[in-house]
Amino acid sequence: MNVWAIAVNTFREAVRDKILYVLAVFGLILIFVSRAVGWISYGGELKIMTDLGLAAIWLFVALISIFIGTQMIYKEIDKRTLYTILSRPIRRWEFLLGKYCGLLLTSLVILAALSAVFLAYLKLMGAPVTGAILQALFLIFCEMMLVTALAIFFSSASTPVLSAVFTFMIFGVGQLTKWIVDLGNLIQDQAPGMKLALKLFYFLMPNLDNFNVRAQAVHAAARGSGWAIPPEQMLSIVVYGGAYTAAVLLAAALVFRRRNF
């Protein structure tokens, strides 16, 4: 009940913030501009349009999650609005989870709105719309689940600027985790310590590249195939995302539990 009340309030805060609409409009513009990029490229215009459209949605939902998420808890402390909330019979983890769910709900609504426009636009342009595209969109949401948790974690312990820097860093590194493995393989046995450190780093960092099936989705859609990746692979990605998100939220709750306001 408490979690839901805070989540609804957080969602209300986000939808009454003009910045959200500015970002959403930019997202829409990029979806439509993807068509123009398709025109100037040689062949496969619809594939490029689909690819760019999906990337635009991914980028703008990520920006919204990170920008709002990294400010969220700090703003509550700075504006002292949490004094009248945490002084009620509510546990701190409930507050944190409520803020997280509210932001995730915001991301979901934005993602759904942008996706609806995008899919309608694809249909209008005669591009194939298959389950593979929906799969890619769903995995964008799963990725945002994790990114939002990271933003909340840093926001519960640090300032908005530092939180944004850390979240963007992990967001960036998370896209490149495959390269970390490749780098470890290149090192071979010359520096075993370094290789171990890279391996540890790889396991600690969220593998956000897992969630990126956009290229596979575009190819599958072009072939008329239903799936970008097999359902069992998708299930393992979702479980991985859920477990990582739960661990990050747990860490955030532990940090937040001992804070004095």
Partner 1 sequence: MAETITQGVPALRIEGLRMVYHPGLFQRRKLALHGLDLEVPKGSIYGFLGQNGAGKTTTLKTLVGLQMPTAGRAWIFGTDIRESASRAKVGFMPENPYFYEYLTARETLDFYGRLAGMPRAERRRRGEYLLERFGLGHAKDGSMRDFSKGMRQRLGLAQAILNQPPLVLLDEPMSGLDPLGRRDIRNEILALRDAGCTVFFSSHILSDVADICDRVCILHEGRKVAEGRLPKLLGQRVLEVQMSASGVPKEGLHEAAKLARRAWHDGELYHLLLESEDLALKAKEAIERGGGTLRRLVPHHESLEEYFIRVTREGDVARLAGAEEGSAAPEAASAPGPRGGLGA
The stretch near partner 1 (CB under 8 A) out of 10-18, 32-40, 61-69, 151-159 is 10-18
Instruction: Give 185's DSSP letter.
Output: H
Q: Do 34 and 127 touch, CB atoms closer than 8 A?
A: no
Under the criterion CB under 8 A, does residue 18 sit at the interface with partner 1? no
- Three-state secondary structure readout of 171-196: HHHHHCHHHHHHHHHHHCCCCHHHHH
**Under 8 Å CB-to-CB from 77, ≥6 apart: which residues?**
261
Least distance to partner 1 from the beta carbon of 249, Å?
19
Secondary structure (3-state) at 79: coil
Under the criterion CB under 8 A, does residue 205 sit at the interface with partner 1? no
Instruction: State residue 229 phi and psi, 5-degree precision.
Output: -135, 155
Number of residues that bind partner 1 (CB under 8 A): 24
Under the criterion CB under 8 A, does residue 215 sit at the interface with partner 1? no
Under the criterion CB under 8 A, does residue 88 sit at the interface with partner 1? yes
Least distance to partner 1 from the beta carbon of 63, Å?
21
Q: Do 51 and 213 touch, CB atoms closer than 8 A?
A: no
- x/- mask, partner 1, residues 90-129, rule CB under 8 A, reads xx--------------------------------------
Would you give the distance in Å from CA 8 to the centre of its chain?
A: 20
Sites of contact with partner 1 (CB under 8 A): 1-2, 5-6, 9, 12-13, 16-17, 79-81, 83-91, 258, 260-261
